[in-house]
Amino acid sequence: MISSKYRALSAAARLDSRLIRRSLISTPSTDQGIPPPLTGIRVLDLTRVLAGPSCTMLLADMGADVIKVEEVTRGDDTRSWLPPSAAVSPNSPKESLHLPPESAYFLAVNRNKRSITVNFKDPAGLEVMQRLVRTSDVLVENFIAGKLAGMGLGWEDCKVLNPRLVYASITGYGQTGPFREAAGYDVIIEAEAGLMHITGEPDRPPSKVGVAVTDLMTGLYAHGAILAGLHSVQHTGKGVWIDCNLFETQLAGLANIASNYLIAGKEASRHGTAHPSIVPYQVFPCKGGFLMIGAGNDKQFRLLAERILEKPELADDARFANNAARVANREALVDIITQVLQRHERDYWIGRFTGLGVPFGPINNIQQTFAHPQVGARQATVEVDHPRVGKVRMVAPPVTYNGKRMPVRRPPPWLSQHTKEVMLELGYSQNEIAELRARKII
């Protein structure tokens, strides 16, 4: 058996350890933006797939030391979601040669983190986790409600180990209620919480959104709640349990659609790209592509009619004289605009729209999106060196501070890349680490 030499750190010792971590990590001066505000904060990340990892990546981007705990042999589910994947370099570390390629999905939401693998169903693995809990400021998990409690790592267990811990649970439906033990999947919540009902064309079946937007919104809510929790700990000295879930996030994401129903009992419906109360406000086809046009007021509609479509008579037609009339005669107006736009290529219309003040945008595919001049001008992508695959291009953190982005300090980790490093930090000896590896505990 491995000796249990490790003891819980006192509150003063934990504070000292955070100060030491701050001193060991270099921070850019204010003329390069702002110092990463979460430097010295340790986040224990027990999440998989998208909602949780996107949350912890945002914390990592702000300087937190995020330790991603993964299953020993497979890791995060998204590691196996390939193709596509990044090609493995022949110069990759020998200890990683047995691993599959790095999936594009995993790489998207795990930058700036460290990866360790722990089987915490085993008592020895549970002890590793307990040491991590004692030395962490935040724990984020997305297990089914009650699952971690049954393994000795629930909120009640962890707050005894670390009374200042911010413990964030991300689930499908929350910690209470009849669905508390149901698993949460973005596409199911989209269906169940109203989003799919309002997405798609009116004469077609409901459709999901093109990305897992409910997962991403939940990650954003959770990351904001964790920042609030850390602020609360500074004032009260007491930890907090955050209950964040996909279902309530999606309810909040219904925004004005929810308000229309709650205030006026108005049921929603699908409108495709069109707006129920504004015309013209939708995607229109043209030669070789599509344009989104949003003429939201009478001035913009007159500009559209006179300067762009070269049909000034439309602005004076009683059927289209104001927005209410245009809504009432939607079909006729949409048909007229469509006929005019289909006479020319997309680029021709982009030229005519540009600079006149009528909201518009081409429907770009992903290649066109990343070729957009704004992407280059804003340096909205970043290239990082990954030890297994070489150069990896990814979307940069989307917020700037004093004109500068938070740095990408670490590439997304390969599975178990930092296990030995973290175990040594926790006080394990080389022999103890080797024994745990042999027993497949880590």
Identify whether 215 is a catalytic site residue.
Answer: yes
Kindly report the number of other CB atoms within 10 A of residue 323's CB atom: 17
Cα distance between residue 243 and residue 219, in whole Å: 12
Sequence-ordered list of residues with C-beta below 8 angstroms from that of 201, at least 6 positions apart, any chain: 207, 270, 272
Measured CA to CA in angstroms, residue 1 lies from 57, 432, 435, 436 at distances of 36, 9, 9, 10
Task: Give the count of alpha carbons within 13 A of 298, CB side only.
Answer: 11
Measured CA to CA in angstroms, residue 429 lies from 79, 205, 414, 419, 421 at distances of 30, 59, 23, 13, 11
φ and ψ at residue 103, rounded to 5 degrees: -70, 145
Q: Where are the beta strands (DSSP E) in 47-177?
A: 65-70, 85-86, 102-103, 113-117, 138-141, 166-171
Structural contact between residues 159 and 239, judged by C-beta atoms closer than 8 angstroms = yes
Nearest partner of 410 among 134, 65, 133, 153, judged by Cα? 65
What would the two tokens of residue 369 be?
């999106």
Cα distance between residue 58 and residue 63, in whole Å: 9
Cα distance between residue 110 and residue 54, in whole Å: 7
Structural contact between residues 20 and 13, judged by C-beta atoms closer than 8 angstroms = no
Cα distance between residue 428 and residue 434, in whole Å: 10
Kindly report the number of other CB atoms within 10 A of residue 294's CB atom: 16
Q: Which long-range contacts (CB under 8 A, 24 or more apart) does 156-162 make?
A: 158/133, 159/239, 159/241, 161/8, 161/130, 161/133, 161/134, 162/14, 162/133, 162/134, 162/136, 162/239
Q: Of 61, 137, 215, 298, which one is the catalytic site residue?
A: 215
In degrees, rounded to 5, the angle at the alpha carbon of residue 113 between the alpha carbons of residues 438 and 86 is: 85
Kindly list the catalytic residues: 215
